Structure 1
Amino acid sequence: MSVEEDQVSDGRLLSNINGPQDLKRLTAEELSVLAAEIRDFLVAKVSRTGGHLGPNLGVVELTLAMHRVFDSPRDRFLFDTGHQAYVHKILTGRQGGFDLLRQRGGLSGYPSQAESEHDLIENSHASTALSYADGMAKAYALRGEDRHVVAMVGDGALTGGMCWEALNNIAATDNRLVIIVNDNGRSYAPTIGGLSDHLAMLRLNPGYEKVLDLVKDSLGATPVVGKPVYEVLHAVKRGIKDAVAPQSMFEDLGLKYVGPIDGHDQSAVESALRRAKGFNGPVIVHAVTKKGFGYRPAEEDEADCLHSPGAFDAESGKLLASSSVKWTGVFADELVSVADERPDVVGITAAMAEPTGIAKLARKYPERVYDVGIAEQHAATSAAGLALAGLHPVVAVYATFLNRAFDQVLLDVAMHRLPVTFVLDRAGVTGPDGPSHYGVWDMSVFGVVPGLRIAAPRDAATLREELREAVAVDDGPTILRFPTGSVPADLPALRRVGGSDGVSGGVDILAEHGTASDDRKDVLIVAVGAFGHLGVEVAARAFEQGYSVTVVDPRWVRPVPIELVALAREHRLVVTIEDGVRNGGVGDAVAKALRDAEVDVPLRDVGVPNDWHPYGTRGQILADLGITAQDVARDVAAWASRVVPARTH
Structure 2
Amino acid sequence: MPDPAPLLTPDLAPADLRRMTVPQMETLAEEIRQAIIAQVMASGGHLAPNLGVVELTMALHRVFDFRHDRLLFDVGHQCYVHKLLTGRLGMLPKLRQKGGMAGFPEPGESPWDLFAVGHAGTGISTAVGMAVGDDFEAGVRGRDGAETAEPHGRKVAVLVGDASIVNGVSLEGLNAAGTLKRQFLTVLNDNGMSIAHPQGALANYFDHVRVSRRYRGIKRRAKGFIDRLPGGEPAPGKPGLIEDLYQRGSDVMKALVRRGHMFEHFGHLCLGPVDGHDLSWLIEVLEEVRLINRPVLLHVKTTKGKGFREAEGDATRFHSPAAFRLVAVEGGSDIPRPATPSQVAMNACRVEHAKKGRSFTAAFADALADRMAADPSIVAVTAAMPDGTGLAEVARRHPQRVIDTGICESHAADLCAGMAKSGVRPFFAVYSTFSQRAFDQFFQEVSLQGLAVRVCMDRAGYVGGDGAVHHGFLDVSLFRGLPGAVLLAASDEPNLVAALRFMADRDESATFLRYPRDTVAEQPAQASVPPFVLGRANLVSPARGGHAGRPEIAVLAYGTVVQQCRSALAVLREHGHEPALYDARFAKPVDVDLLRELLGSGVPVLTVEDHALAGGFGAAVLEAAHAEGLDTRLVKRLAMPEAWAGPDSRDAQLGDAGLDPASIAEAARGMLAKRTHESVQS
TM-score (norm 2): 0.88
Identity %: 34
Relative distance call for 1:480 and 1:246 in structure 2 (3 A) is: farther
- Give the match's secondary structure for 2:62: helix
Query: Distance in 1 between the 2:397 and 2:225 partners?
Result: 53
Alpha-carbon distance in structure 1 between the residues aligned to 2:249 and 2:269: 12
Kindly indicate whether the alpha-carbon contact (under 8 Å) linking 2:456 and 2:514 is maintained by their aligned counterparts in 1.
yes
> 1:430-509 to 2 correspondence within 5 Å?
430-492=463-525, 502-504=533-535, 506-509=536-539
Match of 2:48 among 54, 62, 72: 54
- Measured in 2, the distance between the counterparts of 1:222 and 1:124 equals 43
Distance 1:73 1:451 in 2: 51
Displacement of 1:367 in angstroms is 2.4
Aligned to 1:284: 297
| 1:32 matches 2:26 | yes
Task: Work out whether residues 383 and 393 of structure 1, in 8 Å CA contact, stay in contact via their aligned partners in 2.
Answer: yes
- What is the one-letter code of the residue matched to 1:64? M
CA distance in 1, matches of 2:453, 2:671: 40
The reply on whether 1:608 has 2:602 as its aligned counterpart is: no
In the alignment, is residue 247 of structure 1 matched against residue 247 of structure 2? no
Task: Pick one of 296, 301, 309 that aligns with 1:296.
Answer: 309
Deviation of residue 250 (structure 1)?
1.2
Higher mean alpha-carbon deviation, 214-223 vs 578-587, is at: 214-223
The answer to whether the Cα contact below 8 Å between 1:568 and 1:574 also exists between their aligned partners in 2 is yes
Name which of structure 1's ranges 293-302 and 514-523 shifts more when overlaid on structure 2: 514-523
The equivalent residue for 2:273 is 260
Match of 1:171 in 2: 178
* Corresponding residue number in structure 2 for 1:146: 153
Q: What do the CA deviations read for 1:86-105 (whole angstroms, capped 9, x no partner)?
A: 00001100111100000011
Aligned residues: 634
User: CA deviation digits over 1:18-46, x for unaligned, max 9?
Assistant: 21111101112111111111111111122
Aligned CA distance change for structure 1 residues 311 and 122 (closer, same or farther; 3 Å): same
Q: Which moved more, 1:215-224 or 1:80-89?
A: 215-224
- Distance of 1:350 and 1:494 partners within structure 2: 32
Q: How does 1:64-143 map to 2 (within 5 A)?
A: 64-143=58-137
Aligned to 1:557, the other structure's residue is in SS state: strand
Distance 1:225 1:193 in 2: 43
CA–CA distance in structure 1, aligned partners of residues 675 and 616 of structure 2:
24
* Partner in structure 2 of residue 620 of structure 1: 652
1:92-140 CA distances to partner (integer Å, 9 max, x unpaired)? 0011110000001111111111221111111311110111000000011
2:233 to 225, 234, 242: 225
Separation in structure 2 between the aligned mates of residue 495 and residue 532 of structure 1, nearest angstrom? 16
DSSP 3-state at the match of 1:354: coil
Q: Say if 2:268 and 2:294, in contact at 8 Å, map to a contact too.
A: no
Distance 2:528 2:298 in 1: 63
* In 1: Cα distance, 2:487 partner to 2:589 partner: 7
Provide the residue aligned with 1:186 in structure 2: 193
Report deviation, 1:547. Answer: 2.8
Q: Which moved more, 1:210-219 or 1:135-144?
A: 210-219
Q: Is the 8 A contact 1:178 1:284 kept in 2?
A: yes
Quickly say closer, same or farther: Cα 1:496–1:106, change in 2 above 3 A. closer
Q: 2:319 aligns with which of 304, 307, 332?
A: 307
Q: Which is further off, 420-429 or 403-412?
A: 403-412
> After the TM superposition, which of the residue ranges 480-489 and 421-430 deviates more from structure 2?
480-489
The Cα RMSD (Å) is 2.3
AA of the residue aligned to 2:233: V
Gap runs ≥5 in structure 1: 1-5
Alignment of 1:385-424 (within 5 A): 385-424=418-457
Cα distance, 1:65 vs structure 2 = 0.6
| Per-residue CA distance 1:184-209 (angstroms, 9 max, x = gap) | 01121122112111111113xxx845
Query: In 1, distance between residues paired with 2:178 and 2:270?
Result: 11
Counterpart of 2:165, as a letter, is L
| More moved, 212-221 vs 446-455 | 212-221
The alpha-carbon deviation at position 493 of structure 1 amounts to: 5.2
**CA deviation profile, 1:296-355 (whole Å, cap 9, x unmatched):** 121122543x11111111554614231511100011111111111111111111111111
Is 1:517–2:530 an aligned residue pair?
A: no
Deviates more, 1:509-518 or 1:86-95: 509-518
Distance 1:140 1:124 in 2: 24
The answer as to 2:579 corresponding to 1:552 is no
The alpha-carbon deviation at position 234 of structure 1 amounts to 5.9
- Please give the per-residue CA displacement for 1:417-460, whole angstroms capped at 9, x wherever unaligned: 11111111111011100111001111122111111111111111
The correspondence for 2:614, drawn from 583, 591, 601, is 583
TM-score under structure 1 normalisation?
0.93
Report the alpha carbon displacement of residue 282 of structure 1 after superposing the two structures with TM.
Answer: 1.5
1:246 maps to amino acid: R
**Distance between the aligned counterparts of 2:419 and 2:626, measured in 1?**
39
2:497 aligns to what SS in structure 1?
helix
- Helix, strand or coil: the match of 2:266? coil
Amino acid at match of 1:579: D
- Counterpart position of 1:370: 403
For structure 2, the 5+ residue unaligned runs are 139-151, 327-343
